[in-house]
Amino acid sequence: MNEQWKFFQGFLRQPGQVGSVIPSSKALEQHIVRQIDPEHAETLVELGPGTGGTTRAVLAAMTSSARLLAIDIDPQFVRHLEAIDDPRLIPCTGTANNLSELLSQHGLAAPDVVFSGIPCSTMGDELGRQVIESVWSSLKPGGRFVAYQFRGAVKQIGEQILGPPSVEWQWFNIPPMRFYRWDKPVQ
């Protein structure tokens, strides 16, 4: 209940930057894990981890040598993430459109996967384009970008830059979520 309350407080502080009033369901967390395949990734990036429910699910599926950079714009959410006792986790206050700088700052290689729950529908087309371009340019060849959203703004913006995504639904979440996935060509 404490995590739900902190998440709700984050929504009240910044409703345009927190995608929901409650954290992700367990079903959604497991769907994310299946989509991003963390057991085959060395460097992962989570955009908008909130209070860390999804972060914990991904950490449980990662290898011992992998690293997870969790970037949130809300310093209070980042402080909450810092309480997770896992040396593979790197909580970071920042923005998605500075991804390459944050990776460099933390000595991380190009990510195998970037996954995001940040609400593209509230950020406007230009900022949404900057975020998607930042993610795509930072991903290693053969990498994967997964965005889970309850609105379709990320798909509309992403299609213009990356082409059509693979789309799946997770109905057991409030609200139900769509998963948009783009795989970067190896070259």
Q: The domain spanning residue 25 has which CATH number?
A: 3.40.50.150
Q: What is the pLDDT of residue 187?
A: 76
Tell me if 93 sits within 8 A of 73, measured CB to CB: yes
Q: How many CA atoms lie within 13 A of 165 on its CB side?
A: 25
Which comes out higher in pLDDT, residue 31 or 108? 108
Number of structural domains (the chain) is 1
Structure tokens at 8: 């709700």
Model confidence at 13: pLDDT above 50: no
Q: What is the pLDDT of residue 170?
A: 78
Q: What is the pLDDT of residue 17?
A: 44
CA–CA gap between residue 61 and residue 97 (Å, rounded):
27
Strands 89-93 and 113-116 come out as: unpaired
Q: Which of 74-83, 100-109, 150-159 has the lowest mean pLDDT?
A: 150-159
CA–CA gap between residue 54 and residue 52 (Å, rounded):
5
Q: Which of 110-124, 133-147, 164-178 has the lowest mean pLDDT?
A: 164-178
What is the sign, positive or negative, of the torsion defined by CA atoms of 22, 111, 93, 95? negative
158: Cβ–Cβ under 8 A, 6 or more apart, which residues? 132, 147, 165, 180, 182
Tell me if 46 sits within 8 A of 59, measured CB to CB: no
pTM confidence score: 0.85
Full residue range of the structural domain in which residue 27 is found = 2-183
Model confidence at 87: pLDDT above 50: yes
Instruction: Compute the average pLDDT of residues 45-60.
Output: 93
CA–CA gap between residue 111 and residue 113 (Å, rounded):
5
Q: What is the pLDDT of residue 64?
A: 98
Q: What is the pLDDT of residue 19?
A: 47
Q: Which residue has the tokens 């991380």?
A: 108
Q: What is the mean pLDDT of the chain?
A: 86
Q: Say which amino acid occupies 33.
A: V
Which helix (DSSP H) or strand (DSSP E) does residue 91 occupy? strand 89-93
